[in-house]
C-alpha cells in the first residue's frame, strides 16, 4: 500500500488495474475514525477523483475491522476538549468524506465490509454506491449501548436504505447482526464467505470499469438526486440530465449504441455493453 498523504498513515491506497483499494488503516484501533483520519481521507478522496489510476474506489478496512465507528478518544474526547468553533470544523471534516464526498463522488464507489462495522461507520458504508460484506462481518448501531443517539448523519443515512421497523429495531436495541442480515435489510448488496470477499468485490469493480465512465457517473448522480424529488421535478430533471449526459459524453455512447443495434446489428442492449 502507498502512503496517500506525506506523514499520514491512517489511510492506505493500493492501485490494481483501475481499482483503488482505499484502506482505513488503524487496525490496532479497529479502524476507529478520528479527526486526523478524516483530514487524511479528505485529501485522499480529493486526489483519487482526478487520478487516472483510479476508475473505481473500494473502501475497506485493514486488519479484522471495517471500522469500529467514531473514535471515542480521537473524535469524542478530542472534540469535547476544544472550542465550539473548532468542534464545528472537526464535524465538518468528518461529514465531508463520510457523506458529501462519497455520496457525490465522480467515480463509482464500493464498500467492502470485511469485519466490525459500528455506529459512525454506517455513514460511509451507506454513502458508497454499492456494498459487499463478509457474511460473518458484525454490524451494530451501538450508540445506544454507550449512551448516545446515532448522530452525525447515521440516523438519516439508515433511513435511506432500511425500512423503519428494521432501522428502529437496531437503533433502539443496539443489537449486533451479521453480513447475511445486512444484505436482507438492504444495507449491502450481497454477503459472501470471507474467502470470496475480495474476488467478488474485484469482479464487481471490473464490471463497472467496462462501462462508459461518463454515463455511469451521470446515472449514479441522476438516481441519487431524483430520489429526493417529487415526480414532476424528477421527470424534468432526468430529461435535462439525459440531454446533459449526451452533451458531456466525449465517447458518444448513445450514438454508438443506436448504430450498433439498429444499423450494424452487432449487439443487443438487453444482453450486454456496446463495443466501446
Ligand atoms: N474508539 C476508540 N478506540 C477504539 C474503538 C473506538 N470506536 N474501537 C476500538 N478501539 C480501540 C480499543 O480501545 C483498543 O485500544 P487499546 O488497544 O489501546 O486498548 C483497540 O481499539 C482494540 O480494541 P478491542 O476492544 O481490544 O478489540 P476487540 O477485537 O476485542 O473488540 C470491538 C472489537 C467489538 C469493535 C470493540 O473494540 C468495540 O466495541 N469498539 C467500539 C465499537 C463502537 O461501539 N463504536 C462506536 C459506535 S458509535 C459511533 O460511532 C458514533
Q: How far is the CA of 199 from the centre of ligand 1 (A)?
A: 28
The dihedral through the CA atoms of 110, 177, 120, 219 has a sign that is: positive
pLDDT tens track for 211-226: 999 999 999 999 999 9
Sequence-distant (6+) residues with CB within 8 A of 194 are 114, 134, 135, 136
Task: Write out the three cell numbers for 233.
Answer: 421535478
pLDDT tens track for 32-87: 999 999 999 999 999 999 999 999 999 999 999 999 999 999 999 999 999 999 99
Task: Report in angstroms the alpha-carbon separations of 20 from 8, 47, 198.
Answer: 18, 11, 13
Mean of pLDDT over the chain: 97
Parallel/antiparallel/unpaired status of strands 138-140 and 19-24: unpaired
Q: Which ligand 1 atom is nearest residue 70's CA? A: 50
pLDDT attached to residue 6: 64
pLDDT attached to residue 25: 98
Q: How far is the CA of 140 from the centre of ligand 1 (A)?
A: 13
pLDDT attached to residue 8: 83
What whole-number distance in Å separates Cα of residue 60 and Cα of residue 22? 6
Our CA dihedral for 17, 254, 223, 13, rounded to 10 degrees, sits at: 10
pLDDT attached to residue 1: 63
pLDDT attached to residue 110: 99
Pocket around ligand 1 at a 6 A CB cut-off: 29-30, 32, 68-73, 116, 118-120, 142-143
What whole-number distance in Å separates Cα of residue 196 and Cα of residue 167? 28
Task: Report in angstroms the alpha-carbon separations of 196 from 137, 142, 190.
Answer: 13, 27, 11
What whole-number distance in Å separates Cα of residue 72 and Cα of residue 268? 53
- Mutate-to-test residue for ligand 1 from 26, 68, 71, highest number of ligand atoms within 8 A of CB: 68
pLDDT attached to residue 93: 97
Instruction: Note the pTM of the prediction, 2 decimals.
Output: 0.97
Task: Write out the three cell numbers for 64.
Answer: 479484522
**Contact by Cβ (8 Å): 45, 97:** yes
The dihedral through the CA atoms of 122, 65, 23, 198 has a sign that is: negative
Q: Which ligand 1 atom is nearest residue 151's CA? A: 51
- Provide block-wise average pLDDT over 10 residues at a time, the chain (276 residues): 73 98 98 97 97 98 98 96 96 97 98 98 98 98 98 96 98 98 98 98 98 98 97 98 98 96 96 95
The upper half-sphere exposure of residue 22, i.e. CA atoms within 13 Å in the direction of its Cβ, equals 31
pLDDT attached to residue 169: 98
Q: Which protein residue has the closest C-alpha to ligand 1 atom 44?
A: 142
**Contact by Cβ (8 Å): 222, 234:** no
Amino acid at each position: 500500500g502507498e502512503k496517500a498523504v506525506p506523514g499520514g498513515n491512517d489511510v492506505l491506497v493500493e492501485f490494481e488495474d483501475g481499482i483503488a483499494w482505499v484502506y482505513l488503516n488503524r487496525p490496532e484501533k479497529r479502524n476507529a475514525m478520528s479527526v486526523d483520519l478524516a483530514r487524511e481521507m479528505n485529501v485522499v478522496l480529493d486526489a483519487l477523483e482526478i487520478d487516472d489510476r483510479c476508475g473505481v474506489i473500494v473502501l475497506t478496512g485493514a486488519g479484522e475491522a471495517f471500522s469500529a465507528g467514531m473514535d471515542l478518544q480521537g473524535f469524542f474526547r478530542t472534540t469535547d476538549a476544544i472550542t465550539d468553533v473548532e468542534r464545528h470544523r472537526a464535524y465538518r471534516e468528518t461529514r465531508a468524506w463520510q457523506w458529501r464526498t462519497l455520496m457525490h463522488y465522480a467515480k463509482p464507489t464500493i464498500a467492502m465490509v470485511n469485519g466490525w462495522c459500528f455506529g459512525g461507520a454506517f455513514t460511509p458504508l451507506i454513502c458508497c454506491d454499492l456494498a459487499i460484506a463478509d457474511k460473518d462481518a458484525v454490524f451494530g448501531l451501538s450508540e445506544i449501548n454507550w449512551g448516545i443517539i446515532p448522530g452525525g448523519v447515521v440516523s438519516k443515512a439508515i433511513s435511506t436504505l432500511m425500512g423503519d421497523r428494521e432501522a428502529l429495531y437496531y437503533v433502539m436495541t443496539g443489537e449486533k447482526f451479521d453480513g447475511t442480515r445486512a444484505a436482507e435489510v438492504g444495507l449491502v448488496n450481497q454477503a459472501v464467505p470471507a474467502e470470496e470477499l475480495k474476488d467478488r468485490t474485484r469482479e464487481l469493480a471490473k464490471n463497472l470499469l467496462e462501462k462508459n465512465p461518463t454515463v455511469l457517473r451521470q446515472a449514479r448522480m441522476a438516481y441519487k438526486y431524483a430520489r429526493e424529488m417529487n415526480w414532476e421535478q424528477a421527470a424534468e430533471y432526468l430529461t435535462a440530465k439525459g440531454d446533459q449526459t449526451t452533451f458531456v459524453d466525449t465517447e458518444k455512447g448513445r450514438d454508438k449504441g443506436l448504430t450498433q443495434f439498429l444499423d450494424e446489428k452487432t449487439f443487443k442492449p438487453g444482453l450486454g455493453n456496446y463495443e466501446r
